[in-house]
Structure 1
Amino acid sequence: MENQTNTSYTPGKRIQHLCKIHNLTQKELASRLNVAPSQISRILNEEIKNISSNILIALSKEFHISVDYILGLEPHITEYHSIPMWLMSTSFQPGECLQTIETLDNDDIKKMAYCEYYYFTGQHDKAVNISELYLNHPDSMLKLSACLIHTFANLSLNRINAAKGGLKSLKENLNQIFEKKADNQTIAMSVFVAVAAQTLLHLPLGKIPSLKNYLTELPVGMRLWGCYVLAHESYLKQEYEKSLGIIETCLTLTTKTYPIAMIYLNLMGAMDAMNLRKEDIAKKYFMDAWLMAKPDSLIEGIGEHHGLLQGLIETCIRNDYPEDYQKIIQITYQFSYGWRRIHNPATDENIADNLTTMEFTIAMLANRGWTNTEIASHLNITVRTVKQHLSSIFNKLNICNRRQLQIYMLK
């Protein structure tokens, strides 16, 4: 969003400017407002003197600004300054992430967009340094973004007390918003942030309204990530076909590219396909995620999902992209270690915490019923190597057989 706009702008010009900021064509705007493209064209070209109240309200909701701003009765965007996780919610072409952030005129939104960028590229120190500045910001949406990123970035840096502090602040801020009974869009975005934290940490955050009831209130990119959450819920119930159906529908119906949301959607598709023993399909989903992530180095999500991807990272990119592979594995170790330290004591579960990434991958596959030969073929290693890894796994976990693995493995 812009910090300031010329007060002489007409409604048509202001709407044109908002379309440019949000990277929307006239046709796309018309589709979102459920009106004819010719009607939007007449508004933008100042051929209509009085815009109907229904369209004004729809524009206000679409761009998160006031009707008075559209009509020129206030010079600045004052009612609504931001959305949480702006970068996640924004469409851009892979390789143009930083250029997209630089189009922002509002300094605070730009800084938090960079904060997101640093987190999703695994630069956790930089993400923490920015998020700390916004933990008590008066803009509730910026504050929610800061709390969310602060929690996860500190978790990856093994600063568990700081991560717990970020999670506590997130809960408090969410409770304040829910208690105030804010407007539907504010509630929707707050629910989104709460569900994002709860899904990735697998920790309860209290009573949260159902995300399904608020999806249509969210910007498209955020809505896509919300669908990832719904797919993840089905995945955890072992409803892999249903989860994959959600993923396929989202990716098929989306006409623009939202890299961060789509990376997570494709990773979930890969996880579903692996559990359905559709290895070729799983590899395609993973490579779609990888090719979208690589140009801007948005590799955090890949590292976070390492164990659940069951060897796809090793199979698909270890040999062809060795440097990137090592960065992803480093993210995996950092995130997994912090995740276990905050997760295991809170839930009284014993997720394995002393296995290498290769051992964890083999343990996951073995726990899902893969034979030694199948594991060897999937990971392009020998059966003997698989057996050696399994022996090491059993020794580290002090167990005797595959059946006992389920106590320690991710679901």
Structure 2
Amino acid sequence: GRRAILAPLRGRRRVIGAALFLRGPERVAFEADDLLVAAQLATHSALGIDKAVLYGREAYIADELQRTMLPENLPRCTGVRLASRYLPAAETARVGGDWYDAIPLPGSRVALVVGDVMGHSMTSAAIMGQLRTTAQTLAGLDLPPQEVLHHLDEQAQRLGTDRMATCLYAVYDPVSHRITVANAGHPPPVLLHLGGHAEVLRVPAGAPIGVGGVDFEAVELDAPAGATLLLYTDGLVESRLRDVWTGIEQLRERLAATAQLTGPDHPPPLEALCDEVLDMLGPGDRDDDIALLAARFDGIAPSDVAYWFLDPEDAAPGRARRLARRALARWGMEDLTDAVELLVSEVVTNAVRYASRPVTLRLLRTDVLRCEVGDDVPQLPRLRQARATDEGGRGLYLVNRLARRWGATRLSTGKVVWFELNRG
């Protein structure tokens, strides 16, 4: 005795369900006008459901895409400790294009990068991935920070998108205790000194990436041992409830207050400091996703660095062995003398064979012993298995067998070959 209308819910590509309209036997039977109403209800409901499903799927893909392109683990770099956080935006804003990175550079330096592609979509996440990959490639070429931003700007122009991005690129040198910073429209970093004083670094703002035809300026600043540099995206300091400069001042005050808890001689633990910074967010401050990168500068003391220039001549390997032996004796590391002399001799021999300018030799004493040999030849050495009849070709094989780690990096002026040995 019941009457029913079964209306298919047609999405844009397929039928996603059905709507069932029922009337009991005491009601009037359905008429033609009821069919029209049911059809309209089914059509609008189907489109709404379909859009919600597609939006949820796109948001999920964008979120996974962004998380996949962020570094899983930060590298262990000499003279600096790193910590990071990524916090997605509230459900209403979904994923954005924030990223951070830490990239080891030749000479025990490290590049610190944080950026933000404008917008919240899968497109923003995809552009973020392209810019991050480009920044890693440019860092591998050891370009100055302002040149990295210039090439990122050119890359954004080639992408042909109207999405702009902000980026801050800094290079920290633990030997000189200096940091070089260039900025492309990004919020300025905050430096927390060992004594508890927090300052907003005076870095030229620059234009965002994607504007095109602009120059970027780099500044070189002191990076004293024990200080902490905080790089972040604007989601941390800007929301509907506060402007960006109010948020930056609140961040500076939060860092200073946290440092007071551990006293003037002990910086706050790095991971705990990141958590304290995120705790400053209120319930209305999650309009945008947040990327946070903190770097604690330990540096390398001058007494732990030995540096020489060697003329590219046959006597260079012997001189390198003698200099390394004296440095190890001064550091009380005589147990490494045999291994270091052998490996230094092999690497320096390869360098002076083709170099036309003086070769550099540097030893660094940290938790490991690191040796770096630089020359003006851009071709990187290649590890190969020497044949029994070959007179040479075994140098890198020895380095690979005896060293804890080794590598070679191309520079704009040549290359650096390095290896590390565990301290006894």
Instruction: Mark yes or no: TM-score above 0.5.
Output: no
Larger radius of gyration: 2
Higher-helix-fraction structure: 1
The TM-score, its normalising length taken from structure 1, stands at: 0.27
Give the number of the structure whose residues are more often strand, by fraction.
2
Q: TM-score, normalised by structure 2?
A: 0.26
